[in-house]
Structure 1
Amino acid sequence: MSVEYLQFGCQVLLGGVFAVSAGSKLYSRTAFADFTGATARLTGAGAGRARQLAVVVVAAEVAVVLALILPALVLWGFALGIGLLAVFSAAIVRSLRKGQRASCRCFGASDSPLGKHHVVRNAALAAFGALGIAAGLSGGTSSLDFGPAGVVAFAALIGVALIARLDDLIGLFRTTTATSSLGRQQ
């Protein structure tokens, strides 16, 4: 695979994740209010400050998506995405160290508490961002054929779906594991 397709795949993956994340917070007033509340719990900020932080987060997520779409800004989009993921991870680690288990409103209505897996997810996404930068610096997306680009985009979008539903997948396996353990005890 050439670096052009690697960069393109990273663009679709990271851009898709941030698009779903921003969209899940903006699709209704209730969704944004829930995200603002989660931001307040996570940061300890008052309602007004939490709303400001929530607006900044969503604006930054949208900026990542737009930058990853515009050819002249792609590398900046990757860099902004990595920076945003680092800030998110720092906030999660800080919350976990304080013993807070705020719900993760990363992708909308999930009530799953923040955990180490969210930090790992963010680190993996940041690695894709770094890979996208490396690919961009060594070639960029100058000429993509439709067929292979479609396959790369499809694979990246599957990644987006899995990442967006990570809490549900983990919950499913925890439930399955707990159920299996109960069955063995009886």
Structure 2
Amino acid sequence: MEYLEFGCRVLLGGVFAVSAGSKLSSRAAFAEFVAATVRLTGAAAWLARELAVGVVVAEIAVVVALMVPASTQWGFAAAIGLLGAFSVAIVRSLRRGQRAPCRCFGASSTPLGLQHVIRNVVLAAFGVLGISGATAALELGPACVVAFAALIGVALVARLDDLIGLFRATTATPQQ
């Protein structure tokens, strides 16, 4: 059970680290995230900027909490809460007919959709699994295997829009 908890820590910590890092990678990336927050929430630009800063701070706090053994339970709870809040914001945006691309993991041209809500629900489920697990000393070999598998999961989550795009049906245009 301790390896499951460790894998959930690596997965969620990695996802939130990539998410925060993609928003902070440049001024332009953060500005795009703020603009996406305006579209997503319908808030005024000044409020959206404050929300965007709060999101990045919260994501970094989750990463740190999941790294420190004494605070992992708090980290899982915060991750679950953030994922829930993100899902609610996405659903509200979709109900308003706003399907602008999400800047969750940097630049994306994929409009918001049900896949983003499902992604968040699945990640929250890993948070629930992790929060119910026990923290204990791990053997290095199995821990490395678990960490590697979790990091593959991070990469898949971060590039989910691209992966879905690969399998989405496209219409061929005749060549002339």
Q: Provide the TM-score with structure 1 as the length reference.
A: 0.91
* 2:157 counterpart letter in structure 1: I
- Between the aligned partners of 2:138 and 2:38, the Cα distance in structure 1 is 44
Q: Which of residues 145, 151, 162 in structure 2 aligns to 1:157?
A: 151
- Report the CA distance between 1:144 and its aligned residue: 0.5
Q: Which of residues 165, 178, 184 in structure 1 aligns to 2:170?
A: 178
Deviations 1:67-110 (A, max 9, x none): 00011100000000000000000000001111111211000011
- Report the CA distance between 1:46 and its aligned residue: 1.3
Q: After superposition, where does 1:1-186 map in structure 2 within 5 Å?
A: 3-135=1-133, 139-140=134-135, 142-174=136-168, 177-178=169-170, 182=172
- Between the aligned partners of 2:137 and 2:43, the Cα distance in structure 1 is 47
Among all aligned residue pairs of Structure 1 and Structure 2, give the percentage whose two residues are the same amino acid: 71
- Report the CA distance between 1:115 and its aligned residue: 0.3
- Report the CA distance between 1:178 and its aligned residue: 2.0
Higher percent of residues as helix: 1
- Between the aligned partners of 2:137 and 2:85, the Cα distance in structure 1 is 34
* 1:5 counterpart letter in structure 2: Y
- Between the aligned partners of 2:77 and 2:58, the Cα distance in structure 1 is 12
Deviations 1:45-71 (A, max 9, x none): 111111100000000000000000011
Q: Alignment partner of 1:178: what SS?
A: coil
- Which structure 1 residue ranges, 4+ long, deviate > 2 Å from structure 2? none
Q: Alignment partner of 1:101: what SS?
A: coil
Q: Which runs of 5+ in 2 are unaligned?
A: none
* 1:50 counterpart letter in structure 2: A
- Report the CA distance between 1:145 and its aligned residue: 0.7
Q: Which runs of 5+ in 1 are unaligned?
A: none
The number of equivalent residue pairs is 173
- Between the aligned partners of 2:24 and 2:128, the Cα distance in structure 1 is 27
- Report the CA distance between 1:172 and its aligned residue: 1.2
